[in-house]
Amino acid sequence: MDREQFRAAAHSAIDDIINYFDTVPERRVLPAVDPGYLRPLIPENPPTEAESWAQIQEDVDSKIKPGLTHWQSPNFMAYYPANVTYPSILGEMYSAAFTAPAFNWLCSPACTELETIVMDWVARALGLPECFLSTSKNLGGGVIQNSASDAIATMMVAARERRVREMVLAEGHKEGTTEYEERKMDLQPRLVAIASDQTHSSAAKGALIAGTRFRSVMTGLEHNMEMTASRLRKVLEKCDRDGLTPYHLTMTFGTTNTCSVDRFAEIKAVLQEKPAWQRIWVHVDAAYAGASLVADEWQYIAKDFAEGVDSFNMNMHKWLLVNFDASVLFVRNRLDLTNALDINPTYMRNPYSDMGTVIDYRNWSISLGRRFRALKIWFVMRSYGLNGMKAHIRKTIELGNVFAELVRGRSDLFEIVTKPAFGLTVFRIKNPQASRESSAAICPKDEVADGITKKVYELINSRGEIFITSTVIDGVYVIRVVSANPMAEEKYVRNAFNIIVRTTDEVLQQK
Ligand code: PLP
């Protein structure tokens, strides 16, 4: 493709993308295809001769679009959203054009420096404490990771290295000696990462990658699925009894199932109870709900991170208008990361890195090469301004409130199971036969209600008008609805509610 062909193809692709966004609300949100639909449509072998852009684009239309789940549709109310916006797409275009696997400063100084500046912008926009800024005295700073899972696994490796190093040095072994290495390897398997049973599975995966153990703290509906101090203390004490060393704790700000928020203040107080517990690396996973911090009324939550929190991650690619991947991670002390991950082969050495006057982000993440993702964050923050970003968050939280109110208004049919939060409503269909007394407990287990809720959920998704998700919390089958992508609007939320009511009536009549 030469420059003129690129010009024409790019114009045509942009027109097509705009048209896609314009028409996405009318499309069936879930595709009507069966597994394996694509293979018969695509030749077995790559083409021998060059094909035209027109041919390729035609195949996007006829073969790819029918197999898409439309995450940008306002009828998409499943999982958590995956936002994309025009300025973000422009950022991707420039990032591709300036491609450089910018593993160190010298590879592309603008790439590194913009990332540092933009991460400080994000930290300020979220009202994060000063300690997470790159300009802080404590050597904090932010880095863009591929995903929350990468961020969490990276933190666990850094936490493991910090803890084991402290323990081995305390025993009097000198770094670099065989005894030091042997002791480090002896201690590592006794380390335990802790998180609640509502924490995203990436915490357990991170512990696996870090080669350590993992223990869950039980939650329950009586505490709105939040991790509490007393339940955490039990797990810590059990680790002590078993001769295990807790080294990493994930606190979640907006769990995947219900968007519950762990009780940060009381948890941090528990960690002060014993010297060994004070050494635990505390990470806040705010993958989805952390985006709410751009709105002033939620920033009080971030005040809890000023002390006793080592790191914080948030996916701008969920709810904050930047497309996948834009997972921002902030650390209180960058040396904790670079001490763990800095491996400096000769072929990467250069005067700037050697002098320590520049940031080499390869030492802040698992991958070496990295994309120029700061551009799209920069473009979005400038195109929307903080006020535009706040407006998006407030509007979509309000849509969640509208939906929750509608559900409450039909208490004959529905029961809200956890506190609606950050746009997410979690509810179940009531068992029409359930006695009134049983409702004294918070959402008592009820197999009939589970069965009806599951049927309603499956019927709705099989029809593809809207897409919602279900889950099981504390033994209760529930439906989750969250409408927080840039196209979300009240009329779609009301339509979704009407579909749910209609389908519930239909299922109840079949009983
Ligand atoms: N943490 C939470 C709270 C999540 O909800 C999710 C995904 O939904 C993740 C982590 C994992 O995110 P990622 O896909 O960026 O790894």
Closest CA to 472 of 261, 260, 258, 259: 258
User: Separation of 448 CA from ligand 1 center, angstroms?
Assistant: 31
pLDDT of residue 439: 53
User: Separation of 200 CA from ligand 1 center, angstroms?
Assistant: 6
pLDDT of residue 438: 52
pLDDT of residue 179: 95
Whether the Cβ atoms of residue 282 and residue 306 lie closer than 8 Å to each other: no
pLDDT of residue 103: 86
Q: Whose CA is closest to atom 5 on ligand 1? A: 256
Domains of the chain listed by start with CATH number: 1-30+69-83+386-510 (3.90.1150.170), 141-342 (3.40.640.10)
**Tens digit of pLDDT for each residue in 56-110?**
999 999 999 999 999 999 999 999 999 999 999 999 999 999 999 988 888 899 9
| Structure-model confidence comparison of residues 362 and 131, the more confident one | 131
**Residue 76 carries which DSSP code?**
B
User: Separation of 289 CA from ligand 1 center, angstroms?
Assistant: 11
User: Separation of 65 CA from ligand 1 center, angstroms?
Assistant: 26
- 325 CA closest ligand 1 atom index: 15
pLDDT of residue 472: 97
Beta-bridge partner residues of 315: 327
Q: How many CA atoms lie within 13 A of 425 on its CB side?
A: 26
- N-term to C-term CA, the chain: 61
Which residues form the pocket of ligand 1, taking CB atoms under 6 Å from any ligand atom?
80, 147-149, 200, 202, 252, 254-256, 285, 287-288, 315, 327
> Residue 499 is which amino acid?
I
Q: If pLDDT is split at 50, 70 and 90, which confidence band does 437 have? A: low
Beta-bridge partner residues of 214: 193
Cα–Cα distance measured from residue 238 to residue 244, given in angstroms and rounded to the nearest whole number: 9
Phi/psi-derived region of residue 419, left when phi > 0, alpha when psi is between -120 and 50, beta in every other case? beta
User: Separation of 255 CA from ligand 1 center, angstroms?
Assistant: 9
pLDDT of residue 381: 98
Cα–Cα distance measured from residue 283 to residue 194, given in angstroms and rounded to the nearest whole number: 10
For ligand 1, pick from 227, 258, 285, 424 the residue to mutate: most ligand atoms within 8 Å of CB: 285
| pLDDT of 436 strictly over 60 | no
For ligand 1, pick from 145, 152, 200, 426 the residue to mutate: most ligand atoms within 8 Å of CB: 200
Least confident of 103-107, 118-122, 470-474: 103-107
Length of the chain in terms of residues written: 511
| pLDDT of 19 strictly over 90 | yes
| pLDDT of 353 strictly over 80 | no
pTM above threshold 0.80: yes
**Tens digit of pLDDT for each residue in 45-56?**
999 999 999 999
For ligand 1, pick from 252, 260, 315 the residue to mutate: most ligand atoms within 8 Å of CB: 315
- 3-state per-residue secondary structure call for 360-372: CHHHHCCCCCCCC
Report in angstroms the alpha-carbon separations of 508 from 171, 428, 453, 468, 470. Answer: 67, 13, 10, 20, 19
| pLDDT of 145 strictly over 90 | yes
Cα–Cα distance measured from residue 377 to residue 379, given in angstroms and rounded to the nearest whole number: 5
Q: If pLDDT is split at 50, 70 and 90, which confidence band does 344 have? A: confident
Cα–Cα distance measured from residue 11 to residue 374, given in angstroms and rounded to the nearest whole number: 25
User: Separation of 188 CA from ligand 1 center, angstroms?
Assistant: 26
pLDDT of residue 434: 84
Q: What is the ipTM of this complex?
A: 0.98
Q: Whose CA is closest to atom 8 on ligand 1? A: 256
User: Separation of 135 CA from ligand 1 center, angstroms?
Assistant: 28
Cα–Cα distance measured from residue 72 to residue 487, given in angstroms and rounded to the nearest whole number: 7
Beta-bridge partner residues of 141: 331
User: Separation of 147 CA from ligand 1 center, angstroms?
Assistant: 7
pLDDT of residue 273: 97
- 147 CA closest ligand 1 atom index: 15
